[in-house]
Structure 1
Amino acid sequence: MIIPAKRPHLTDLWHRFLFNTIAPVYGTFYDHQTKRFSVVLTTVSTEINLDSYKTIADIGCGPGALTSVLRDKGMQPTGVDRASRMLATAKKNPGNHSIPFIQADVLEQLPFADKTFDVSIAAYVAHGMQKEDRSRLYTEMSRITKEKVIIYDYGRNWAALTAMIEWLEQSDYKRFIHSARDEMVDCRSARGRCFSAVKMVEISTLAAWYICTPV
């Protein structure tokens, strides 16, 4: 299925500018991020054991902290981000040698055939999009994935500081935390349903994994 090109929204253009601008800052938190992701993967291992899968797409990979952790777990990750400076930062990190990084926009059609990856994951990507764009994210991740689509993002609990930060980033934080799981359950594409099952796993007070089975 080919997803038609989408005319950029002003918020979308702002996010492209923002993440290209702050890429060097994100890079300084690389070590902290890798440690945090390692802890998170251990926390959710009772719900989903990623060690049992091989290929994985990290959508919105940023500086590549998660891709590095996934590679260390024995998987074959591919990092995908639309911000060129994020990818440049990712490639410079020593933990990311031998990991392929591809510049692409999930709101367009990603340059992968159907069911290329065993797993795809998007960490703190969905809440920054508007509802229509989240639907495109879920649709495209479902298309390229065979086994599990993981949306790692905010859970249902509201936090004042987080809300303020997300307001500055012009994200859709408030609506996302109230409707995330329902959006995934209700997602439809030209193929039909995006997911046959969606399981929400709260991993902290504010964070959750939405583990989706692609159709």
Structure 2
Amino acid sequence: MGELEKHVRIFNLIAPVYNRFFRWQVKNYGSILDKYTDFLKIPAGGKVLDIGCGTGAFTYCLAERGYQAVGVDFSSSMLRAARKSTLGESIEFKQGDVTKGLDFPDASFDLVLSSYVLHGLSSKLRQSIYAEANRLSRGQVLFYDYNQKRRLFTDIVEWAEGGDYFGFVRQGEKEIRSNFHDVRIIDVGPQTAIYLCSPRR
């Protein structure tokens, strides 16, 4: 079983529990969008793509603000929960593997974003996400993930999850800067940051 398949198996199992935090996530993502909308420069009614959308909280916040929102995830259980939680919103959810490329034309989104996905994957798989985000965005790319600060509790939780949290904390910023133009990093929490990037053509 490959790395991504292991992650999908885990997320298919935890989707019902994960979805219990949907409203809290909506509140958190909504406050971030409200605070940093000017930086994102998404045109009114612009098209946005949420890579690794999970149960759809960030995608929901974008749709709620009038954007054409598309959410992609490899986990069928996460997508099932996302569709249930976002009933009434005009959101397109699709199952897909971003590491193998998504079925969208080049430069087809005003914003491509990914939230808490990068740290869970190996550096090799992160590179494929950077490449696809560059290909698909005609505006900006936003990663919402850990910064370089660590806390013991988070270390333990992420160690148990089995991703590459420690590798991302060490080298994530360097990776992102080497793959995008004009990377702006904004700390939005004690351990979290927005990495706002201009795509490389």
**Alignment TM class, shorter chain as reference:** over 0.9
| Partners of 1:126 and 1:53 in 2: CA distance | 27
SS at match of 2:100: coil
Q: Does 1:66 align with 2:66?
A: no
Q: Does 1:138 align with 2:130?
A: yes
Deviation (angstroms), 1:50: 4.2
Q: Which residue of 2 aligns with 1:3?
A: none
Q: Which residue of 1 aligns with 2:191?
A: 206
Kept in 1, the 8 Å contact 2:63–2:89? The answer is no
Amino acid at match of 1:33: Q
Q: Identity over aligned residues, as a percent? A: 34
The structure with the largest helix share of the pair is 2
Q: Does 1:101 align with 2:93?
A: yes
Tell me how many residue pairs correspond in the alignment.
200
| Partners of 1:53 and 1:185 in 2: CA distance | 29
SS at match of 2:142: strand
Kept in 1, the 8 Å contact 2:69–2:90? The answer is no
Amino acid at match of 1:81: D
Q: Which of 114, 118, 133 is equivalent to 2:110?
A: 118
| Partners of 1:51 and 1:38 in 2: CA distance | 18
Amino acid at match of 1:180: G
Q: Does 1:186 align with 2:178?
A: yes
Kept in 2, the 8 Å contact 1:37–1:69? The answer is yes
User: RMSD over aligned Cα, in angstroms?
Assistant: 1.6
Give me the TM-score of the superposition, normalised by structure 1.
0.87
- Give the 3 Å change call, closer, same or farther, for CA 47–98 of structure 1 in structure 2: closer
- Give the 3 Å change call, closer, same or farther, for CA 70–41 of structure 1 in structure 2: same
Deviation (angstroms), 1:96: 5.5
| Partners of 2:39 and 2:89 in 1: CA distance | 29
Which runs of 5 or more residues in structure 1 are unaligned? 1-7, 188-194
Give me the TM-score of the superposition, normalised by structure 2.
0.93
